Structure 1
C-alpha cells in the first residue's frame, strides 16, 4: 500500500489563522494557536499542527505570534450619536468656556451652517466649575441657533436663537427637567427633559445624514476592534435605516438595538415582536430613570453633599415606568434602564423584582448601576449590571464631593456587582467617554487615569481582573444580548468575529494597555 493512500484528504476552508496567541474566552478560558473559518464561522480551533493537518485554504494568515481575541462588544454606547458627532463641534477636553466658544467659532468658519450642534463640554474640567451662560454665544451668533450638549448628554447650552425655537421663557416648566435661571434670566442651560423644549423644534436629520453618520461610526469602531455595538436608544426610523444598510452589505458591524422608550415605540414593537438577523437584534427597550451625576441630575436618596436640599431628578415618572415594566415583562422583550443615583437604582430594582417575580432568564439590565445603597446589591442577583469602567476614572475627581465619603463607597462598585450577578456587561457609553475599548480595559483593572492617578488606583477593592474584563467585553456582553451562542468567544459554530492586537492585553504592563493597537478586525472571517 502506498503512503499516499494512507493520507486523508484535507477539508478546504475559506481561511486559516496560524501562529497566533489566541484567547478563546471559552468556558475554560483556553488558549489556542490556530483556527479554521468556513462560511463566516469558526469550524475548528486548536494547535498549528492540528489545524494544518486537517484543513487547507488559499487564504492562510500568519499572525506572527500576535494576540488574537474575540471581536469586542461595547455593551452600552451611542453608535449613531457618535456618528453624528463626526459632523458637529467636538467639545471634548475643553478646559474653559472660552475654549468652547473658540471651537464653535472655528467650526462655523469652516462649515457655515444654519444650525450648529456640538457635544463634549464638562464644567467639572474647568477652573470655574459652574454651568456656562449663553451671553457670549448670543453676542457672537445672534441669529444662528446653537445647541451644545454636555459630555453626558444630560444638559445642553442653547443661545437665545435656539431658545426662541421653542419659545422658552423663565416661566417654562417640564416634568423631569430643569430650565436653569440665573439672576432672574435664562442662562441657556436646559437639564434632562427640558432639552426637549428646544430640540423638539430642531430640524430633523435627513435619511442621508443618518446613513453618513452610521458609516462614519462603523469606521471608527472597526479601527478599535469593536464588531458588535449595543446602541442605547434608537428610534424605529433609525433602526429601519440600519437594517436596510446591513441587508445591502454597507453596514457590516453587528448592532444590538435598544429602542428609545416612548408610548408609541412600546406599542409598535410589542405588536411587531422581536427582530433578529445575523447583524441586527431588536429585543430591548431603553428607559431613563434619572439624569447624570455630573450635572446633579442623578436621583439620590439623601441630598447632594455639595448642594444641600437638592436630590436630583426622576426623568420618567414612576407610574409610566411601572406600567411599561409590567407590559414588557409580559412580552419576550428585555428592559434596559439608565439608573445613576442610589434612589433611581432602588426604584428600578424594586420595580424589576416585582414584575419579574416567577419569571426566569429575562436578563433585564440596569445601565450604569452607578451609585448603589449597600442593602440594594442583593437585588442584582437576577439583574445584569451593564457598566462603563471609564466613568469611574472620569468621575473620581468630584464624585466624593457630590456623594460624600460614605455614600461614594457604593459607587462604581464593579466587583461587588460582579459578585452579585456573576457576570457584568462592559461598555464605554461613547461619545460620553472615548470609543477606545482599551481605555475601558485599563480603567477596569487599574482604576487609574492616563496620568496614573491616583497612586495605587481608585477604590481598588472594586477593580476587575483581566480575565473578568475580557469576558465582560466579549462573552458576558454577548450573554446580556441573548447572543452568547453565536458570538463572544472563539469557538466552533460561532461567527468568525475576531481581532489581532499588536500587544498581549493579558500580560502587558497595565499602564501600556491604553496604547494597544488593533492590527486587523475581522467580521464573518473577512477583514474590515
Structure 2
C-alpha cells in the first residue's frame, strides 16, 4: 500500500519550524515531500491520510535502551514513583498475590526520594516474604535490594568475597544487609533471570508493541552487565520473520578486548533492521551510589568513586577497537570518567587517525568545564537522557557533589552550544520509555517536583529536542542517508502526534499521544483512523 500523509504541521528536521505539506510514500521509502498534495506526482492508487492539525515528525529513535531488561520490566512489579520502603513492599505484596513464578522481580525504587532515605534491608522483605526470593532493582539498576531467600539461593554468606567493581553491603557483624552494588548484583541476577524462549518472546512482543505506541521506530540496545543473563539477540530474527519486529534495532555488545568475537558478532547481525553498531563498556557507576568516578573526592565521602576496569587496560581496548573500525560507546557519569573517555578517544584518533568511527559518551552527568568543547573537537557524540533529572533527586546530587560540581550536572544546551552532537534516549528500564517525558523535561528542565528546574539554562528548543531524538541518533548509527529526517529517498519511518508540540503549552506535552506510527512505509500503530480523502 502506498500512502500520502497530509498535515498542517510537518517537522522534517531540516528547519527549526513546522510547515504545511504532504508526503508521498511508496513501498518502504519517502518518494516525495511537497508543500501541498497538488504538487505531488500521484498514480491515483495511494491512500490519502489527512492528519489535519496533527504534528508529523521523523520516527523517534531512542539512542539508549536496554532491550531485554526493559522487556522484562514490563512483566515485573513497577516501583517507580514509590515514596517509602513501606509503599514498595505493599506494591510487591499486591503483585505477588497475582503472580506465581518462583522469583518476585521489581524495578524502579529510589530511596533518594523517600522521606527516610536510608538504604532498606533484607529484614524488611523477610517479614513478608520469608521463603520466596525477591529481587528489587534500584531505579538506576546499579544496585538492588534482596531478601534472605534470594541471598541463600545465591549462596551469599558472611564469607563471600566482593567481586571486582562490586560490593555486598554488610552490617557490623559481617552479614549481608540485602543491598548488592554493581557487579555483586550478578550473583543473584544470574539465577533470577532464568526464562524460557517462549517467555522471552512474549516479553519482546510486549516491548515492541510499546515502542510502536510510543512513536519509536529505532532503538539502540546497550550492553549492560545486568542484561547479559537475559540477552538472546537471535530471537529478533524470529520476530522479524513473523513480521512482529516493530523497530530497527542497533546493537552495542560488550567491549572486552576480544575483537575476534566482536567481528563474529558483526557478521551475525547485519540485517537492515537488526544491526551491530559498535561496542559498549562501562567506565564507572552512578553518583547516587558513590560509584561514579570523579576527579576530586565526593563531598560526602572520602574517595573519588571507582572504575569498572583498570583504566590503562580499557584505554588499550578502545584504541584497538577504534583501529578495527568499531565505534565505542562508554558509560561515563562522573567528571573523571568523562575526562578519561575523552582522553582515550583523543589518543585513539592520534594513534590511528580518524577511522570513520563515531564514538559516544553515555550520560555525561558531570563534566569539567575544559572538557565541554572536546566533544566537537574529537567528533564524539554526547548521549543524554533528559528524564533522569526528574527520576533522581537534586538534593542527593548536591549532597554527593557539593554546589560547585552540582552546577556542572546534566548539561544539554551547553554541549549543543559548544558544537557537540547531542542525542537523546531514555535508558529504559531505568526510566519510562515514553518519549513525551523525555521531550517535556528537555524543554522545561523540571525536576521530580514538577515545580523546580534542574539547570534552567540547559533547556533545549523543541526543534533541538526532536533532532536529538531523530537526526543525531541516525548519524550515530551511520544511517543519516536513510533516516533521521523526512526527505525523499529516506525510509518511511514517520510518527504523527495528536497535537502540535511546537505550539502547545509545555505542560500539555505530557498528555500528548502518538496517533500513528509508520515503519518502512507500513502503519504499525494507529490510535484511531484519520480522515481519508479517497
What is the TM-score normalised by the length of structure 2? Answer: 0.91
506, 511, 519: which one aligns with 1:515: 511
Deviation at 1:181, TM superposition (A): 1.3
What does the per-residue CA deviation read over 1:152-182, in whole Å, with 9 as the maximum and x for residues that have no partner? 0000111122112332233422211111112
Cα distance in structure 1, aligned partners of 2:115 and 2:149: 28
Cα distance in structure 2, aligned partners of 1:279 and 1:333: 19
DSSP 3-state at the match of 1:120: strand
Q: Is the 8 A contact 1:452 1:511 kept in 2?
A: no
Q: Is the 8 A contact 1:23 1:32 kept in 2?
A: no
**Structure 1 residue aligned with 2:388:** 391
**Structure 1 residue aligned with 2:21:** 33
User: In 2 relative to 1, CA 174–30 (structure 1 residues): closer, same or farther, beyond 3 Å?
Assistant: same
Q: Is the 8 A contact 1:170 1:179 kept in 2?
A: no
Q: Is the 8 A contact 1:147 1:158 kept in 2?
A: yes
Q: Is residue 2:367 matched to residue 1:378? A: no
DSSP 3-state at the match of 1:161: helix
Cα distance in structure 2, aligned partners of 1:128 and 1:208: 41
What does the per-residue CA deviation read over 1:489-517, in whole Å, with 9 as the maximum and x for residues that have no partner? 11111111111111111121222211111
Q: Is residue 2:18 matched to residue 1:23? A: no
DSSP 3-state at the match of 2:387: helix
User: In 2 relative to 1, CA 394–28 (structure 1 residues): closer, same or farther, beyond 3 Å?
Assistant: closer
User: In 2 relative to 1, CA 439–497 (structure 1 residues): closer, same or farther, beyond 3 Å?
Assistant: same
Deviation at 1:271, TM superposition (A): 3.7
What does the per-residue CA deviation read over 1:104-160, in whole Å, with 9 as the maximum and x for residues that have no partner? 222111112212211111001111111110012223323222211001000011112
362, 368, 376: which one aligns with 2:357: 362
Q: Is the 8 A contact 1:252 1:279 kept in 2?
A: no
Q: Is the 8 A contact 1:177 1:313 kept in 2?
A: no
**Structure 1 residue aligned with 2:162:** 173
DSSP 3-state at the match of 1:327: helix
Cα distance in structure 2, aligned partners of 1:30 and 1:103: 44
**Structure 1 residue aligned with 2:139:** 151
311, 321, 332: which one aligns with 1:328: 321
Q: Is residue 2:278 matched to residue 1:284? A: yes
What is the TM-score normalised by the length of structure 1? Answer: 0.92
Deviation at 1:521, TM superposition (A): 0.9
Q: Is residue 2:451 matched to residue 1:490? A: no
Q: Is residue 2:184 matched to residue 1:191? A: no
Q: Is the 8 A contact 2:6 2:37 kept in 1?
A: no
Q: Is the 8 A contact 1:223 1:521 kept in 2?
A: yes
**Structure 1 residue aligned with 2:429:** 431
Q: Is the 8 A contact 1:383 1:421 kept in 2?
A: no
Cα distance in structure 2, aligned partners of 1:249 and 1:323: 41
Q: What's the RMSD between the two structures over aligned residues?
A: 2.1
Cα distance in structure 1, aligned partners of 2:217 and 2:306: 35
Deviation at 1:230, TM superposition (A): 1.1
DSSP 3-state at the match of 1:406: helix
Residues 250-289 of structure 1: pairs in structure 2 closer than 5 A: 250-262=244-256, 266-273=259-266, 275-289=269-283
DSSP 3-state at the match of 1:33: strand
Cα distance in structure 2, aligned partners of 1:29 and 1:459: 25
Q: Is the 8 A contact 1:286 1:335 kept in 2?
A: yes
Q: Is the 8 A contact 1:32 1:45 kept in 2?
A: no
Cα distance in structure 2, aligned partners of 1:118 and 1:452: 25
DSSP 3-state at the match of 1:255: strand
Q: Which runs of 5+ in 2 are unaligned?
A: 525-534
**Structure 1 residue aligned with 2:68:** 80
Cα distance in structure 2, aligned partners of 1:116 and 1:458: 35
User: In 2 relative to 1, CA 452–119 (structure 1 residues): closer, same or farther, beyond 3 Å?
Assistant: closer
**Structure 2 residue aligned with 1:297:** 291
Cα distance in structure 2, aligned partners of 1:131 and 1:489: 45
Q: Which runs of 5+ in 1 are unaligned?
A: 1-12
Deviation at 1:485, TM superposition (A): 1.0
The worse-fitting range, judged by mean Cα deviation, of 419-428 and 234-243 is 234-243
Residues 102-121 of structure 1: pairs in structure 2 closer than 5 A: 102-121=90-109
Q: Is residue 2:110 matched to residue 1:122? A: yes
Q: Is residue 2:330 matched to residue 1:337? A: yes
Deviation at 1:332, TM superposition (A): 2.0
User: In 2 relative to 1, CA 198–261 (structure 1 residues): closer, same or farther, beyond 3 Å?
Assistant: farther
DSSP 3-state at the match of 1:405: helix
DSSP 3-state at the match of 2:164: coil
The worse-fitting range, judged by mean Cα deviation, of 24-33 and 239-248 is 24-33
Q: Is residue 2:218 matched to residue 1:228? A: yes
What does the per-residue CA deviation read over 1:308-358, in whole Å, with 9 as the maximum and x for residues that have no partner? 313222123324422321221122221111111111111121112112322
Cα distance in structure 2, aligned partners of 1:486 and 1:55: 24
What does the per-residue CA deviation read over 1:422-463, in whole Å, with 9 as the maximum and x for residues that have no partner? 321101112211211111111111111475421xx3322222
DSSP 3-state at the match of 2:373: helix
461, 465, 477: which one aligns with 2:473: 477
Cα distance in structure 1, aligned partners of 2:274 and 2:162: 38
User: In 2 relative to 1, CA 380–514 (structure 1 residues): closer, same or farther, beyond 3 Å?
Assistant: same
127, 134, 142: which one aligns with 2:122: 134
